[in-house]
Amino acid sequence: MELKGKVALITGAASGIGESTALLFAGEGARLFLTDIDTEKGEELTRKIEQKGGEVVFFKADTSKSEDSERSVAETLKRFGKLDIAINNAGIGGSQHPVGEYPVADWDKVIAVNLSGVFYGMRYQIPAMLNNGNGSIINVASILGSVGFANSAAYVAAKHGVVGLSKSAALEYSAKGIRVNSVGPAFIKTPLLKDLDKDLLSQLVNVHPIGRLGEPQEVAELLLWLASDRATFVTGSYYPIDGGYLAQ
């Protein structure tokens, strides 16, 4: 029971990495405030966690809207009285084009969800955690937070931004008890990959030295460690979890 008594807010919790993290955290005794734009899948997950005896709330919130992030934190405090852990995980892949042809509307959308969404999250999570005197924030970036990837400029730029934003927040708040870190998964088997070209997807396996793509549960294990009191000296860091991708 690594997270017994802790209150954790997870964005983009209805699917993939967020869903696996919610299930793992529930099993470790966390009380969960789950947000997503997909109400049906979010409520389905909530029922599953409740059936296992977990304490959980689902709240529909779009990370690209600052008012939704503000409301998410306010509702967390109303329901649970505090906020200990925030996993800013919601993200989209965006369309695939070279920079010179990238649709401006697609760029704006990816930056709004994947980068501004993380800022909006922390903007309201941090004041709540300061009241608490402690907290752990983990922002889900990507390997593409540290290297490029052709035809995915908006995603790559947003994820690089998340890594920098996390480091800045860590400098500002670590001495006040709030640890801020980011993680960098390589390609993980979740619905996020559904729009990728099939040939590209099979080539991608070969660029992971471990010889396969990752599982969302494997990322959840890293998030658990960073969120827990086992990682009390860890802040301002970026943790790839990538089957060796970045070692090449």
For ligand NAD, give the closer residue by CB, 45 or 231.
45
- Closest C-alpha to 134, from 84, 184, 80, 188: 84
User: By C-beta, is 193 or 234 nearer to ligand NAD?
Assistant: 193
Question: What is the smallest separation between the CB atom of 97 and ligand NAD, expressed in angstroms?
Answer: 18
Q: Which stretch binds ligand NAD (CB under 6 A): 7-15, 24-32, 45-53, 221-229?
A: 7-15
Q: Phi first, then psi: what are they for 64, rounded to 5°? A: -80, 0
Instruction: Tell me how far apart the alpha carbons of residues 34 and 102 are, in angstroms, rounded to a whole number.
Output: 32
**Subset of 108-147 contacting ligand NAD (CB under 6 A):** 113, 140, 142
Site size toward ligand NAD (CB under 6 A) is: 28
Q: Which of 23, 37, 45, 128 binds ligand NAD (CB under 6 A)?
A: 37
Binding ligand NAD (rule: CB under 6 A), the pick from 81, 98, 133, 191 is 191
Tell which one of 80, 107, 173, 187 touches ligand NAD (CB under 6 A).
187
Tell me which residues in 42-81 interact with ligand NAD (CB under 6 A): 62-64
- Residue 36 sits in the site that holds ligand NAD (CB under 6 A): yes
Instruction: Give catalytic status of residue 120 as yes or no.
Output: no
Q: Does 185 bind ligand NAD (CB under 6 A)?
A: yes
Burial pattern 179-203, b for ≥16 Cβ within 10 A else e, equals bbbbbbbbbbebebeeeeeeeeeee
Catalytic pick among 102, 155, 239, 245: 155
Shortest distance, position 48 Cβ to ligand NAD, whole Å: 14
Tokens for 17, please give them: 């990495």
H/E/C letters for each residue in 2-58? Answer: CCCCCEEEEECCCCHHHHHHHHHHHHCCCEEEEEECCHHHHHHHHHHHHHCCCCEEE
Stretch that binds ligand NAD, among 9-17, 24-32, 50-58, 70-78 (CB under 6 A): 9-17
Residue 135 exposure: Cα atoms within 13 Å on the Cβ side:
28
User: String of b and e for 58-82 (b: at least 16 CB within 10 Å)?
Assistant: bbebbbbbbebbebbbebbbeebeb
Amino acid at 14: A
In the complex, the residues that contact ligand NAD under the rule CB under 6 A are 11-12, 14-18, 36-38, 62-64, 89-92, 113, 140, 142, 185, 187-188, 190-193, 216
Residue positions annotated with a catalytic role: 155
